[in-house]
Amino acid sequence: MKIRWTQGNVRFRITPSELAALEQGEALQEVLGVGETASWSAEIVPQSAATGINMLPGRVRVTLSAVDGLRLAAPDVEGVYFQQQGEPGLRYYIEKDFPCAHPRATEANEPPTETFEAPAGFEARKSAPLPTCMPETPE
């Protein structure tokens, strides 16, 4: 499982075998150990009563309802997307891991991982220029 967080959101990317584990009711967990005593972990717990996210010291826990698990497993769905209610209104996603649109740097030393087959239009969408968020300046 790949995890990426930025201000206001956290994204979990899962492989086909991790999706199969979730479908079997198995939790997914990643642990990042720093030194001998410090660690950070993230987990997805399937087949819960409701989908939600909890933050505890050193741990992020996402519970995934059975309904949302079925949505994620649909072949034509790239991911499931949620917004935590209240403040600060954290967004969190579980997405299928598709092949990279461009080659990975060899210096990253990342192991090859299994990926889902890219859906129709995926390559074109990923290689299209990103829209700018900058307001146009008057001439």
Counting Cβ atoms within 10 Å, is residue 18 exposed (0-12), middle (13-18) or buried (19+)?
buried
Residue 127's pLDDT is 66
Cα distance between residue 48 and residue 35, in whole Å? 33
List, for residues 98-112, the tens digit of each pLDDT value.
777 666 667 766 666
Cα distance between residue 61 and residue 58, in whole Å? 10
Q: So where are the chain's domains?
A: 2-97
Which of 11, 6, 19, 9 has the alpha carbon at shortest distance from 77? 19
Instruction: Provide the percentage of residues in the chain whose pLDDT is more than 90.
Output: 53
Q: 12: pLDDT confidence band, cut at 50, 70 and 90? A: very high
Does the pLDDT at position 46 exceed 70? yes
Give whichever of 1-5, 105-109, 121-125 has the largest mean pLDDT.
Answer: 1-5
Kindly report the CATH class assigned to 2-97: alpha beta
List, for residues 49-101, the tens digit of each pLDDT value.
999 999 889 999 999 999 999 999 999 899 999 998 877 788 999 999 877 76
